[in-house]
Amino acid sequence: MSKRDYYEVLGVSKGAEEREIKKAYKRMAMKYHPDRNKTDADAGDKFKEATEAYEILTDPQKRAAYDQFGHEGVNGQQGGHGFGGGDFGDIFGDVFGDIFGGGQRRQQRAARGSDLRYNMELTLEEAVRGVTKEIKVPTLVGCEPCDGSGAKKGSKAETCSTCHGQGQVQMRQGFFAVQQPCPQCRGKGKIITDPCNKCHGDGRYQKTKTLSVKIPAGVDTGDRIRLSGEGEAGESGAPAGDLYVQMHVRDHEIFMRDGSNLYCEVPIGFTAAALGGEVEVPTLDGRVKLKIPAETQTGRNFRLKGKGVRSARNGQMGDLVCKAYIETPVNLTDEQKSLLRQLEDSCGGVDADKHQPKTEGFLKGVKRFFDDLTR
């Protein structure tokens, strides 16, 4: 029976790259492997066919011969196992290494230490001006007596007798040849027979470190500072991880921050809003006078240039935006109430829209709304 085209078997184009071929073969192998399809008689043949196609198309010389001469160009180049040249375990490790730990025997590298995060709370003033703070961080540090090796001073780790220093052992199950970390040495290739008294063979021990952290001016919630090498110590003397200090700026009772700008609400007396005047407003540098023009309404914004926050990213200075809030007089005496009624009477009548344009505009809008509903 004639063989099918290898590209057709794997479902890839003739110009497919090697990674695309591997991906296609992985999908086919997982689908048709005999151990997964014990009741399907055709699965084994399809699996062998896909494996043979994979071997030819991932070998540059064999693929070139196949592309030029077809199956005749590669006849006799497959091995005697019926799965292409070489042991299936090698192919399995090459394609499925990401799942089963790779097809090469190699000692597991000592792991770099874990990164840590410290949440730091700041007042708005601290965030704007910058501050230096001391923090205490519980972490794993390298053991000094054994220099992080885990072995007692004067002794050293011995080669693992199970994996012979490779760090991995091979497990065979039918067609499979799977690499796994050595259970005896946990993938390290070495065994400590005389552990250090301080770290008990781990090469690290728990300690609370005190660090001085300089917070630059202008930081905001969500910003973070990386302290290189201040995370957990690595295993067996491997490099330490990093410490990330995460900023959180507490809410302020007067100011609200948005980027480099500050916002605050400024109460303005009834008379000053109507006739104009001056009010004192707070800034992070002290108090300043703000001129209030006559006939100021609630909601009007006044921008004070350069009174905001200097950005930690680009150095630009933000502004302070003051929102006017007209304060209605309270706890009035009878005389004061009488004066206000006289003012109300003088502002009413035919000239009411002149003195209260927003009120008149609102009332006209309400009238139009209800007139439209009755049409």
Q: Same structural domain for residues 38 and 75?
A: yes
Q: Same structural domain for residues 236 and 354?
A: no
* Residue 189 is assigned to a structural domain of this protein: no
* Residue 235 is assigned to a structural domain of this protein: yes
- How confident is residue 89, by pLDDT bands cut at 50, 70 and 90? very low
- The pTM (predicted TM-score) of the whole model is 0.58
Query: What is the C-alpha separation between 162 and 169, in angstroms, rounded?
Result: 8
Q: Give pLDDT, residue 40.
A: 78
Model pLDDT for residues 213-261, shown as the tens digit of each residue: 999 999 999 999 999 999 999 887 788 999 999 999 999 999 999 999 9
Q: Same structural domain for residues 84 and 16?
A: yes
Question: How does DSSP assign 90-123, residue by residue?
Answer: HHHHHHSHHHHS-SS--PPPPPPPPPEEEEEEE-
Q: Same structural domain for residues 235 and 266?
A: no
Place of tokens 């591997």: 22
CB 149 within 8 A of CB 203: yes
Longest dimension (CA), the chain: 116
Domain of residue 238 covers 107-151+201-250
Region of poorest pLDDT, from 10-24, 150-164, 168-182, 319-333: 168-182
Q: Give pLDDT, residue 355.
A: 64
- Flag whether pLDDT at 188 surpasses 70: yes
Q: Same structural domain for residues 231 and 112?
A: yes
**Eight-class DSSP state of 229:** T
* Residue 166 is assigned to a structural domain of this protein: no
Place of tokens 């001056």: 278
Structure tokens belonging to residue 140: 């794993």
* Residue 234 is assigned to a structural domain of this protein: yes
- Flag whether pLDDT at 135 surpasses 70: yes
Q: Same structural domain for residues 87 and 16?
A: yes
Q: Same structural domain for residues 21 and 95?
A: yes
Query: What is the C-alpha separation between 6 and 50, in angstroms, rounded?
Result: 8
* Residue 320 is assigned to a structural domain of this protein: yes
Q: Same structural domain for residues 210 and 129?
A: yes
* Residue 177 is assigned to a structural domain of this protein: no
Q: Same structural domain for residues 126 and 244?
A: yes
Query: What is the C-alpha separation between 32 and 26, in angstroms, rounded?
Result: 10
Q: Same structural domain for residues 62 and 87?
A: yes
Pairing of strands 286-292, 301-304: unpaired
Of 73-77, 216-220, 314-318, give the range with the top mean pLDDT: 216-220
Q: Residues annotated as binding site?
A: 143, 146, 160, 163, 182, 185, 196, 199
Q: Give pLDDT, residue 76.
A: 57
Q: Residues annotated as binding site for Zn(2+)?
A: 143, 146, 160, 163, 182, 185, 196, 199
Q: Same structural domain for residues 206 and 246?
A: yes
Please name every residue paired with 365 in a beta bridge, in sequence order, or none if there are none.
none
| Ramachandran sector of residue 278 (left: φ over 0; alpha: ψ -120 to 50; beta: rest) | beta
- Flag whether pLDDT at 307 surpasses 70: yes
Q: Give pLDDT, residue 98.
A: 44
* Residue 48 is assigned to a structural domain of this protein: yes
Q: Give pLDDT, residue 303.
A: 95
Q: How many structural domains comprise the chain?
A: 4
C-alpha distances (whole Å) from 15 to each of 11, 20, 51, 54, 67 are 12, 10, 19, 14, 10
Query: What is the C-alpha separation between 256 and 320, in angstroms, rounded?
Result: 10
* Residue 45 is assigned to a structural domain of this protein: yes
CATH number for the domain harbouring residue 246: 2.60.260.20
Query: What is the C-alpha separation between 359 and 365, in angstroms, rounded?
Result: 10
